[in-house]
Structure 1
């Protein structure tokens, strides 16, 4: 099969739009101080660079953090261009020395070989603290080990696997119903938006024990939380290229003022959920007692009713919040309400945006390559063997784990999607003590080493001359069985001791959603000529959504 070329050069990304809301809000607090500071910084950096060259071996300097700001809307393609010229390179930054790598040997060294010397550090912690708190994605040491141990145990239980599997199937069925209704009424819709809402519902139910009802829009407070959550994610990332975010936070202007507002909405909602759940568990679901315990506004009255209803109808409390509440009884000194907020919210961050974003890119790619879409349909039909008159709900319920494990071509297509569009396109570790990386490059305490899943997925020296071609078959052996690659070459799920605990959960969710939707519908791009760009956020999402034409099979 000859697939069309989607080399990165052919994906045209827009220049920074001065009229865009993110640019205007950011510029309000940035431009006033950037010019003078930039000149001073570059002079100091030049002196430091000349001095450092006399005593250490460093990768080449190819730009500054200000180049990142100028290329912010195409940040990952900017780094891909640099990575094609240098496996390892540096950008000058007032945050300290920054080294960028697309070399699997360096990636393995910082993620596994010398794991104890590289972590999140104060740089990442300060940048993400308002949203991530002391959650697993922001901390090192004892807090990380404690959460990793608890999460590892919970993710390995059959109870959580069965609980989450039932939720994924139910959510996929609801999404199929929604798409069918919109298609029958000839309404235009953004499938990425529907996926974001659906995975938010399913992830929140696994985390907190109830759905937000974002997909059907029936929960106003849930929708407000979801919007604030997404906006917070976006503003947090901007801190990594904004040298003056602390000044803006102090002055409460621009992006920092917006972040503060959105974090308040997120925290208010999450703490209300936790308070209600804690009182509900303590008082065994008595609605009068629960209501009396809380100073809850009318805005959250629907939240009380939803939460209590879900737990009256759920005999076993298998959601993650319930598990951690039980743990907090045993270890009250280790887990308070703020720490619990951080743990659970990090799970939502991990489960919602990553899977929905990947599925959106998956649908974009199978629309660009209809022969791939047809192969997936035939595989699903052969492996799952549905009844002729099956409906969405029945089909979803009949998907067994054994069937999911045998969907090799679908698994390969999702993995090839992640090669091009990894959920987390850029990540970093902070060096804790002076070290020498593979290749002989010196790093000092406090230096930041970035590794680049987005750029690495496009490197010909890693994937061959056809690296720019979307080809799921590269992941299959001669018998059509999926074959994995080194996690230090394909870094979509991290690697080493911090490898993503939810990797198998993510694949299960994506395969269930994809199997249901591709079996019942045929998808085409609404506008084949329109360029599709990403939105620069912590996770990789399609800017302005993905509008499709859908035909029932």
Structure 2
């Protein structure tokens, strides 16, 4: 028998406690339902993929127009034929840029989307991978790029190439014909980067090295086709069937690989030759430095070589092209740089190209503040990479309060940022090198999260100082010898929409010999 008094004394309090708990949970749920939930706030929709199509020829200006209205905006989520679903978020907010490139760097990377597009050409190279593979290559490369050996070797290479280029211009000047400077810069920078990376003379400026010519043509075509994958929604199907552009890509990559693997094999044999230890320049190029570190996997070395080639070729060449274009549009600035060259090098009026090149050294390069400012001003308005993308690896919130979902692509836009009056003042669209100089006329750098031409944070461009050194050496030798004018002042110069900011159709200039009497020291 159950004792009712005992049951009551036990059950009633327990029941009351349970009812109280249930009631409390009910109240909490009611309160939670009535209270406003913390919802995600997404960037405003600035445009659509369809609206981008008619503006593709001026895409970066179209993005700039939108960026004047929205510092951060998005294109709505879509599912493409490759199975990716994501928003595209564009930002020109320096706080956002710093956040994705530095503060929360691990959450934003190349991702599988970019990797899958570029890996056939670039393999597992530093510019397409994340995580351990990136960290390892970055660590080794950072050390090698900081060595005095590589700096001195690259300066010798840059000067030798610039002298060859100056001689080429002499021929054009004597025959009074226009010349495509962008094409020459492309060839010259590839010659330089190949010598610095592999220690090999491609000699593209004379086109006497047939294997080198075939490699150059194949590499350029492979790069263009790989880049076109970003717009070609059927590229995976074409690759599977090996038809169209994908069949062409495979053929060109085969040419590239045969050439690079052959050079790697030759370099390994050379370095392993105990009787050839005194060969000049044997261990100065980047490939030799990697081999000294016992990095001997040919595929690994192949990927490193091609990643550095793609980073050092088009970017420097396009910047030099836009720089010389701006000097032709602003002849007063061209003369001011020529005057600085004369003052710093103290060259005589009858000096030869070679005599001028001798005066171009680390000491004189460091004194070229106005030239450095003019190159930076060019990169501000015409960044070699006009926009750069990262993939978000997990849901996040940007400093401006906007939410980003896992898999979203976020793009910061150097081209648009260089035209923001909030960042550069009311004259943001004017070419004015003086904005980079302090009261003493010395170059004064800007925040890398505002001037984003070389990225920033852990992925900041390893070759930044090399690029400036090469551009300054080339500019000093060419502008110390020649004056440049547009072949057709009335013809508009426009960019070609691509990953790098090429001048569409080339840059045709006329070249005239410069006498130091044109720009006197006391002028």
**Common topology (TM > 0.5):** yes
CA distance in 2, matches of 1:501, 1:529: 39
Could you say what the CA RMSD is over the residues aligned between the two structures, in angstroms?
A: 1.9
Residue aligning to 1:533: 494
User: Offset at 1:55?
Assistant: 4.8
Instruction: Indicate whether 1:514 and 2:506 are aligned.
Output: no
Instruction: Indicate whether 1:324 and 2:285 are aligned.
Output: no
Q: Can you list the C-alpha shifts for 1:237-273, whole angstroms capped at 9, x where unaligned?
A: 2222333322232233443333223222222221121
Cα 1:274–1:520 change in 2 (3 A) is same
Q: Which of 366-375 and 383-392 deviates more?
A: 383-392
| Aligned match for 2:409, one of 448, 451, 468 | 448
For the 8 Å contact 2:176–2:510, the answer to whether it is kept is: no
Q: Which of 541-550 and 261-270 deviates more?
A: 261-270
| Aligned match for 1:430, one of 382, 386, 391 | 391
Instruction: Indicate whether 1:88 and 2:67 are aligned.
Output: no
| Aligned match for 2:250, one of 256, 260, 273 | 260
Residue aligning to 2:133: 143
For the 8 Å contact 2:67–2:92, the answer to whether it is kept is: yes
Residue aligning to 2:21: none
Residue aligning to 2:519: none
| Aligned match for 1:221, one of 211, 223, 226 | 211
Cα 1:460–1:370 change in 2 (3 A) is same
SS in 1 for 2:313: helix
Q: TM-score, length-normalised on structure 1? A: 0.82
SS in 2 for 1:97: strand
List alignment gaps of at least 5 residues for structure 2.
1-36, 515-523
Residue aligning to 2:448: 487
CA distance in 2, matches of 1:54, 1:383: 62
User: Offset at 1:54?
Assistant: 11
Aligned pairs, how many? 472
Instruction: Indicate whether 1:269 and 2:259 are aligned.
Output: yes
SS in 2 for 1:363: helix
User: Offset at 1:451?
Assistant: 0.7
Q: Which of 274-283 and 119-128 deviates more?
A: 274-283
Residue aligning to 1:314: 280
CA distance in 1, matches of 2:108, 2:123: 20
Q: Which of 154-163 and 225-234 deviates more?
A: 225-234
CA distance in 2, matches of 1:142, 1:528: 51
Residue aligning to 1:403: 364
CA distance in 2, matches of 1:254, 1:462: 45
| Aligned match for 1:347, one of 308, 329, 335 | 308
CA distance in 2, matches of 1:315, 1:188: 37
Cα 1:247–1:362 change in 2 (3 A) is same
For the 8 Å contact 2:282–2:288, the answer to whether it is kept is: no
User: Offset at 1:182?
Assistant: 2.2
CA distance in 2, matches of 1:243, 1:211: 38
Which protein shows a greater Rg? 2
